[in-house]
Structure 1
Amino acid sequence: MDFILMLTRADRTVSDCLRALDAVADAGVRHIGFKDIGVDHATLKELASRIGDLGATSYLEVVSTGREAALDSARAAVDLGVDRLMGGTWVEETLPLLDGSEIAYLPFVGDPIGHPTRLGGTPGKIAADCRRAEAAGCAGVDLLAYRTTGDDPLALVRAARAATAGRLVVAGGITGPAQIEALAAAGADAFTVGSALFDGSVDPNAATLAAQLAPILATTATTGGGH
């Protein structure tokens, strides 16, 4: 699996995102993302550029569960020049906004609600959404498995894996190695961690962001993925 470092906390880009990126620049993280709220557009523009300079793949994850704001996020992704756009549920309206760019789109599956976002939807609903996203030409899907309001998170992951050959990214609520190992076994291609790194949940004894990253990177390596 791939590890996507999200420079976010509580579904917002952290205010010191540029400094945070500098702090982990030598860690070898190859996938780095952020949200489109929390800092101004100019800062996001610089952040995306710096991620590219590191040779890493950049991700913008949509925060809004409203149509117009989500489509505005897609437009922002094009302007920022990120590599991948995650989130949002308006697939047929989002994809044309990305025409002419090289941005790969991975929409939310299920029923995302609120902020910070929670996930409604049964395994059957998740699977159906995965099939629709793949048929529409999306590169994969964004599954908020550990933010589910009901079903077993891993049941949702397995349902998604069975329904799509696209890239399956599990985002939100991941705090440590046990979940990462379970996701690998269930068939996820990638996972994100953000808040848990910035609030110290991964390792309460780690004093720096780089130290918080250590167990995540070590576990990722043992699951057969890169950073």
Structure 2
Amino acid sequence: MNEHTQLIVMLTHHDQTVKNAYEIFDNCKDSKAKFWGFKDSGIPLDEMKALYAYMKACGKTTVLEVVEYTEAEGLAGAQMALDCGVDILMGTIFSDSIHKFCQENNLKYMPFVGTVTERPSVLNGSAKEMIAEANCYLEKGVYGIDLLGYRHTGDASAIIKEFVTTVNAPVCVAGDVNSYQRIDEVKDFGAAAFTIGSAFFENKFEGSFKEQVNKVCQYINCLEGVSHV
């Protein structure tokens, strides 16, 4: 991730990897999006490995988001990320054991903050509490933070703004970025990245999957010829 806000395309719907993820990526491999990933459930491990290998062969930066809430499940997800050769592990409730595993295996780790429950995930917790939590993890050496901002049960925009503008590390705003207004917010707040998965499958940005991906990429890079009116 660099100084510009990045789109991470997630081949997921309702926090589950879609069955035809390989086919969709194959159709989109020459799209403008550099970052691609999916969740830890929905397709078999062998299919995950093959798809991530294909993504990397196409020059993409790869992400696995693990939507699990126990240390054991998080460690299993980290092992899955290693087995698949991904670049970035997002999600899991932070634990020192997962962090150590990522450090030992050169995985960039971006854990959840706040109280995360259910699937699709729901986030609770004050901005102040989550900022303190994030700073604790960053002091230990994690790469960044996975903030389920628009899944928050309170004033999501205010929470995201306070968190992103305060935390001095890459923050990915994950989940429910489903409009140009929300893209404007995460970009204006200075988030390193945001994920879109379900919104593409639900045609929130109008067009084929590939057309929607390219529209959003063009929009965040301020290219001409894109309108969201």
Q: Establish whether TM, by shorter chain, passes 0.5.
A: yes
CA-to-partner distance for each residue in 1:95-148, whole Å, 9 max, x for gaps?
Answer: 122243221000001111101101011111111111012111001000000000
Question: Which ranges of structure 2 fall in alignment gaps of 5 or more residues?
Answer: 224-229
* Distance in 1 of aligned mates of 2:77 and 2:167: 25
Structure-1 residue corresponding to 2:42:
38
Q: Percent identity?
A: 30
Residue 183 of structure 2 is aligned to residue 180 of structure 1: yes
Structure-1 residue corresponding to 2:127:
123
Q: 1:196 aligns with which of 179, 199, 203?
A: 199
SS at structure 2 position matched to 1:49: helix
* Distance in 2 of aligned mates of 1:112 and 1:214: 31
Structure-2 residue corresponding to 1:19:
23
SS at structure 2 position matched to 1:191: strand
Does the aligned pair in 2 maintain the 1:177–1:215 contact within 8 Å? Answer: no
- Normalised to the residue count of structure 2, the TM-score between the two structures is 0.91
Q: How do 1:13-162 and structure 2 match up within 5 A?
A: 13-150=17-154, 152-162=155-165
Q: 1:54 Cα deviation (Å)?
A: 1.1
Aligned-residue RMSD, C-alpha = 1.4
Question: Which ranges of structure 1 fall in alignment gaps of 5 or more residues?
Answer: none
Q: 1:174 Cα deviation (Å)?
A: 0.7
Structure-2 residue corresponding to 1:7:
11
Does the aligned pair in 2 maintain the 1:4–1:33 contact within 8 Å? Answer: yes
Q: 1:163 Cα deviation (Å)?
A: 3.6
Structure-2 residue corresponding to 1:164:
167
SS at structure 1 position matched to 2:104: coil
- Higher mean C-alpha deviation, range 126-135 or range 209-218: 209-218
- Normalised to the residue count of structure 1, the TM-score between the two structures is 0.92
Q: 1:91 Cα deviation (Å)?
A: 3.1
* Distance in 2 of aligned mates of 1:123 and 1:161: 10
Structure-1 residue corresponding to 2:215:
215
* Distance in 1 of aligned mates of 2:94 and 2:182: 29
Does the aligned pair in 2 maintain the 1:126–1:159 contact within 8 Å? Answer: no
SS at structure 2 position matched to 1:139: coil
Does the aligned pair in 1 maintain the 2:33–2:213 contact within 8 Å? Answer: no
Change (3 A) 1:218 1:78: same
* Distance in 2 of aligned mates of 1:65 and 1:220: 32
* Distance in 2 of aligned mates of 1:26 and 1:187: 27
Instruction: State how many pairs are aligned.
Output: 219
* Distance in 2 of aligned mates of 1:112 and 1:17: 26
SS at structure 2 position matched to 1:102: coil
CA-to-partner distance for each residue in 1:163-182, whole Å, 9 max, x for gaps?
Answer: 42211100000112111111
* Distance in 1 of aligned mates of 2:113 and 2:87: 20
Does the aligned pair in 2 maintain the 1:176–1:215 contact within 8 Å? Answer: no
* Distance in 2 of aligned mates of 1:121 and 1:22: 39
